[in-house]
Amino acid sequence: MKRTIVIFAIMLAAALAVSCGEKPLERVVLLASTIGPVESGVVDALENAFEKETGIRVRHAGAGTGATIEMAKKGGIDIVLVHAKKLEEEFVKDGYGTGRMSLMYNDFIIVGPESDPAKIKGTAKAADALRAIAASQSKFVTRGDKSGTHIAELALWEKAGLKPAGDWYETYEKGAEGNSSTLKYTDSKDAYTVIDRATWLALKKTLKIRLLVEKDEALLNYITIIPVNPDKVKGVYAEGAMKFAEWLTDPAKGQKIIQEFGKDKYGEPLFFPNSEKFKKGAK
């Protein structure tokens, strides 16, 4: 929580910096984003390309989806980038967001010890893998912070018909710091966890644990953007936020950057474009 407050304060300070002379304050689009895309670098890539093309600056703060949405409700945020459908729908239903806009997706995976005590390697269904982990009481690390990743993990346990609890199921006390921190901690404990593929690709060369379960449809991770409603929250830079949203969802602009991001470094993209405009063009 303290980390989120610090990042938020830094972001606002940068946004409100006054230029020299008598020029007016520069309007900056303020984005609150779930941490995974920030850590991957795709958020910076999108912001920089948008500014280069339009002259409009975007600055971001990273936090779990739950914290991101709460920040937006309190003001000072123009648009959010999140990945927890239930929380997103509540945000819009309560009038804080103008509407959910599909942006991109990747997927979650289950990683764990090379020794694989729960014997889940190659299991086709994530729910079956989680049942095996619980049955064997093998160490599992959860972010436990109501982030999009945590909510997705809980949904998988629910699909498996389980409510995990016990010494084997450990809540990482610094889970709010993000997926990279959680993955490194999981590795240090030689444990299992659910994590997004982008974080895994970025760190896998430094880890002992291995990718064990993947490519179940239940593991897909959909990421959306939601402009904050200026009629509900005071001070929203609605015009800039909407321009950024339209640019992000344009197949020839933001969606193209998403489609290519990560290929040069990892040999495969970290995310896949998913806007309605992109999907129409792909048909």
- Over residues 209-231, the pLDDT tens digits come to 999 999 999 999 999 999 999 99
Residue type (1 letter), 33 = S
Once rounded to an integer, what is the mean pLDDT over residues 142-161?
96
Q: According to the model, what pLDDT value does residue 254 have? A: 98
Question: What is the radius of gyration, based on Cα positions, of the chain?
Answer: 19
Count of Cβ atoms closer than 10 Å to residue 5 Cβ: 13
The one-character DSSP state at 22 is T
Mean predicted lDDT score pLDDT of the chain: 92
Residue 252, pLDDT > 60, answer yes
Strands 210-213 and 220-227: unpaired
Q: According to the model, what pLDDT value does residue 18 have? A: 36
Nearest alpha carbon to residue 235 among 11, 27, 13, 94: 27
Regarding predicted confidence, which is higher, 13 or 196? 196
Cα of first residue to Cα of last residue in the chain, in angstroms, is 43
CB neighbour class for 80 (10 Å; exposed up to 12, middle 13-18, buried from 19): buried
The model's pLDDT over 229-249, given as tens digits with 9 standing for 90+, comes to 999 999 999 999 999 999 999
Q: According to the model, what pLDDT value does residue 20 have? A: 40
All structural domains of the chain? 2-105+222-282 (3.40.190.10), 107-219 (3.40.190.10)
Q: Which residues pair with 31 in a beta bridge?
A: 60, 79
The model's pLDDT over 4-35, given as tens digits with 9 standing for 90+, comes to 443 444 445 444 443 344 444 578 999 999 99
The model's pLDDT over 89-122, given as tens digits with 9 standing for 90+, comes to 999 999 999 999 999 999 999 999 999 999 999 9
The one-character DSSP state at 274 is -
For the entire predicted model, the pTM comes to 0.85
Q: According to the model, what pLDDT value does residue 26 have? A: 75
Q: According to the model, what pLDDT value does residue 112 have? A: 98
